[in-house]
Amino acid sequence: MHIDQLEISEMDHLYQVSSVEVGQHSYWQVGIFEVHAQVLITSWIVVAPLLALPIVGARNLQTIPTGSQNFIEYVLEFIRDLTRTQMGEEEYRSWVPFIGTMFPFIFVSNWSGASFPWRIIQLPHGELAAPTNDINTTVASALLTSVAHSYAGLQKRGFSYFGKYIQPTPVLLPINILEDFTKPLSLSFRLFGNILADELVVAVPVSPVPLIVPVPMMPLGLFTSAIQALIFATSAAAYIGESMEGHH
């Protein structure tokens, strides 16, 4: 009997080890809604410098830009060129604000996860992580892209836009509708997986050697994070541009 209890105790211990979660989350109750506390906190940490930088850069505008103004104009020109390349000369201007919001947020979010081990900040419940480390953030970005895709198509082509769903045959209607959501959603899952992996690479070695081991890994994480942000923004612009074309 004693041996059986010992075996059960050992199995319970092994089960507890195998059930370690990737992340722990805490929620704030706001009325009938549960708000993901960590994502809200880290999202505002990311948004704060994105709001502050344009304000500082636009204080004293110069004909020949320098400093923060020069940096802001470079970023805007990069986003404008990216959007124009994917959507064409005639349609891109009205969509620069959308891509110009999506790209910096994802870029800075990704870099925050690759360069800073959020998990060393202890919370009473849960743990901090980059906003794009959470599937809710990446899926929300994908759904916004899907809404923008449909809006752009309707704005450009009117109700004839819906004709694409029955091409080349009405039998494909369910598949064509599903395709509009699976394209950006698959991109969001890839973004989430890559950022989660980057954060784990930085965070796991922090406990034994916090200042030495993660440093060589950070450049690779920063590069991967930048590429993922670029891929998401480029694909979103191409996806929206596709809806404004005359063919599917």
Indicate if the pLDDT at residue 98 is higher than 90. yes
Give the CA radius of gyration of the chain: 23
| pLDDT tens column, 219-245 | 777 888 888 899 999 999 998 988 887
| pLDDT tens column, 38-81 | 888 888 889 999 998 888 877 877 777 777 888 888 999 999 99
| Nearest-10 Cα torsion for 130, 134, 140, 143 | 120
Rounded alpha-carbon distances, angstroms, from residue 94 to 98, 117, 232 = 8, 37, 19
CB-CB contact of 203 with 119 (8 Å): yes
E-strand stretches of the chain? 27-30, 33-36
CA dist., res. 182 & res. 198, Å (int): 24
Name the token pair of 231. 């891929």
Confidence tier at 15 by pLDDT (50, 70, 90): very low
Q: Is the peptide bond between 131 and the residue preceding it cis, with omega within 30 degrees of 0?
A: no
